[in-house]
Amino acid sequence: MTRLLLASGCALLALAALAAEALPPLDEPAATRGSAVYSHYCVLCHGEKADGKGVAAKTYRPPPANLVASVYPDAYKERIIREGGSAVGRSPYMPPWGKELSDQQIADLLAYLRRIKANPA
C-alpha cells in the first residue's frame, strides 16, 4: 500500500511538472490556421468546444479527450497527434495523423489548442 501511494505521489508530481512547462508566446496566425486543421480533422470526435463531446464521441470507449481540460504539455500532445493514442498508452481510437498532417499543420494545431486552453468557450 505504501509503495502504491508513493508511486501515485510521484506520478502526480511528474504531471505537475509537465503542466508547468513553459509555453511559447501564442502565435495568433498559427492558432487561426490551427483552427482550420482542428475543424477538419478533430471536431468530429473532440467537439466544437474541444470538450471531448463531438458527434462521434458517444461511439468510443474511452471517450475522446477533453482538450480544454488537458494538463499535458505540447510535446505529449504532438506525439499523440503524430503517432496516435496507442503510442502513449491512450485510446487506440485516436488515429495517428503524422503521415496526413504536415509539420506546420501540427504546429498550428498545437497553437490552436494552446489558445482554446487559455480562452475556453
Flag whether pLDDT at 43 surpasses 90.
yes
Flag whether pLDDT at 63 surpasses 60.
yes
Can you give the pLDDT at residue 118? 76
Per domain, the residue ranges of the chain are: 2-118
Can you give the pLDDT at residue 117? 86
Helices (H), the chain: 2-19, 28-41, 43-46, 74-83, 103-118
For 68-114, write each residue's pLDDT tens digit: 999 999 999 999 999 999 999 999 999 999 999 999 999 999 999 99
Flag whether pLDDT at 3 surpasses 80.
no
Share of the chain above pLDDT 70, in %: 79
CB burial class (10 A; 0-12, 13-18, 19+) of residue 56?
middle
pTM (2 d.p.)? 0.78
Question: CA–CA separation, 97 vs 30, rounded Å?
Answer: 18
CATH 1.10.760.10 fits 2-118, yes or no: yes
> pLDDT higher for 11 or 108?
108
Flag whether pLDDT at 5 surpasses 70.
no
In the 3-class helix/strand/coil scheme, how is 46-61 assigned residue by residue? Answer: HCCCCCCCCCCHHHCC
